[in-house]
Structure formats: C-alpha cells, structure tokens
Amino acid sequence: MDPAPVTRACCETLKGRQSHAGAWGFGTRQDAVEPTCLAIIALRHQPGTYIERALGMIENLQNQDGSWPAFFGDEPSGCWTTALAVITLMAAEPDAGRQITRGIEWLLKARGREANWFWRWKFRAVDNNAQFDPGKFGWSWVSDTTSWVVPTALALIALQQASERGFSRSDQLRERVHLGTSMLVDRMCLGGGWNSGNGVAFGVPLAAHLDATSLALIALKGQEHHPSVPISLQWLVNHLAACPSAYSMAWGILAMAAYRDISSEARESLYGRAEELILLLKNATGVMDNGTLAVCALALDAIAGDSVFEMRA
C-alpha cells in the first residue's frame, strides 16, 4: 500500500484548516503551539505562504526568556512546547538561529522541581508513594512542577539535535542530556515502556502508554546498550498492532522507524503498522484533531526515511 497519496491528503486537509491568523488549533478552537508546530514540520517540504505565515507566528510568539507558551494569547510563561518549537525551527527554518539558540538556553535552565533540594528530600522522606529517584530529573509540562516523560523526551530530542546541528555543544548541554536520559531510564514501567510519569505508585505497577513509550524510545536512540531500550521496544512492537488510535499508531511508527536498522522486530512490524495507519486515515478529513493529522503525515514520511524527530549522529 502506497503511503504517498494518504500523506498528501493529510497535508491538503491541514492546509485547508489553517486559521486566518496563520496557525492551527487542535480542532476549531484556539490556535495552539503544539498543532501549529506539528503542522509546520509535516508541511515543511511544501513551501508556500501558509508555511511562511505559520513560521512567522511561531517566531513572534517566543517569550522574552526564550520559551514558548502553549496557546496563542497565553500569558508570557514558558512550558513544554518550547522543545517542540525548537525542533520545528531547526527542521523548517534553520536560519532562525537567534530564536533557536534562545530556546535552547531556556531548555538548559528548565528542570523539574526535583532539582531543588527541598523537593528531593520531600519525595524521598515524605511524599514517596510514587517510586522514582528524585535525584534524576528531566523537564515538566509547566514550570515549577515535577518532571514528566513526554516533556523530557521532547527536550532530549531538541537538545541532541541542537548538538548534532552545531547550535550548541556545551558541557552544560551534555550534562543535561545525560541527566534527562537517566530520568527516563529510572521511570520505565515494569515489563517495559513508559506512561506519563512513573512506573510504580502506591506499590502498584502502572501500565505503559503507547505514545509516551514511543517518544521516550525516540529520545533514547543511541542508548541501545541500556536494557530498558530493547525491553521497551519489544513492548511497543507487541502492543502496537491493531491499535485503534491513529495518534498512538503514528507515534509508534515514528519510534519503530528510528530503530529499524538495529531491530529486526521493529523493521518487520513497521510496514504492517503503516498499513493499519493508512486504513485508519482512509478518510483523512474525518480526523478532526490537527495535531493527530500532522503526526500521521510525519509517520508516513518516516517510513521512507524522513523523520524529523530522529537523531542521526
């Protein structure tokens, strides 16, 4: 089954849904950074005024401290979307060096509240129902909260790509990547995979999620020597088949595409999952969430070796 016509249909639908301001919302609601960034990188090989307008919106939305908010019109406080905005600019507007560098600097300073000695003590001595090592911290959804898997994975992807492309190769970046990687490894669920936060809470093992597992695996590319990676990749291969969610299927395909050269299981599963995604997208206009539609287009591109999230160094 040829993915190209389905990819084109997804992209044409996205073009038709761009708001008058030049951005995208999740549906018909307020324009948001996440679907706008995902739409930009899905459409990055099709230059036109819609891409120029969207990139202008993202660049102008950057806060004074280098971060990005979650929604257009938000108060000027940074959040997890900063990593996605940096990835987007590196992929679609690499000449925006100043904005990229400022975003990287914000990511290097941002950290989960476990970085503070008081919270580390609290999580170890008092609030220890969730079993994790608070000395290993990543990035949070919003400032001054605990580290979570998806923001940490996206920040690691952004920083590692920034290093590969020469935007920053500082010792601080290497140390931050090492610490964030250790946080992901520490938060793995029993049996493999990741959920949004912790693997065990109140003594109960928690189930892994397909999208969080996929993003964590993409962020951990190059760490195949660690047992958590092959175990979690096998978990993803075993659980992704017949997934009814186009969003989760797309992220799973992006993860398996990243590992197909080193995992026969991922390589053998990849095309079967792609056919399932194409069937889910047979009527692309029926997918109402613009972020989902964009991720699906990116997943189909990744089958041909064009993955915006993959690290290649």
CA distances from 247 to 61, 93, 172, 287 (A): 26, 25, 34, 10
Residue 48, pLDDT score: 86
What is the distance between the alpha carbons of residues 37 and 90, in angstroms, rounded to a whole number?
11
**Does the pTM of the predicted model rise above 0.75?**
yes
Q: How far is Cα 5 from Cα 248, in angstroms, rounded to an integer?
A: 21
- Two tokens at 29? 């609601």
Residue 199, helix vs strand vs coil: coil
Nearest to 57 by CA among 22, 30, 16: 22
* pLDDT in the model for residue 119: 47
Low-confidence spans in the chain with pLDDT less than 50: 117-119, 121, 125-126, 313
pLDDT at 121: 46
Tracing tokens 């959804």 back to the chain, one arrives at 141
- CA dihedral of 52, 57, 61, 66, whole degrees rounded to 10: -10
DSSP 121-145: HHHHHT--SB---TTS----SBTTS
pLDDT at position 118 is: 47
Q: Which residues contact 181 (CB under 8 A, 6 or more apart)?
A: 156, 219, 220, 223
* CATH code reported for the domain at 4-303: 1.50.10.20
- The 10 Å Cβ neighbour count of residue 179 is 17
- pLDDT, residue 312, reads 63
Collapsing DSSP states into helix, strand and coil, what is residue 230? Answer: helix
pLDDT at 136: 84
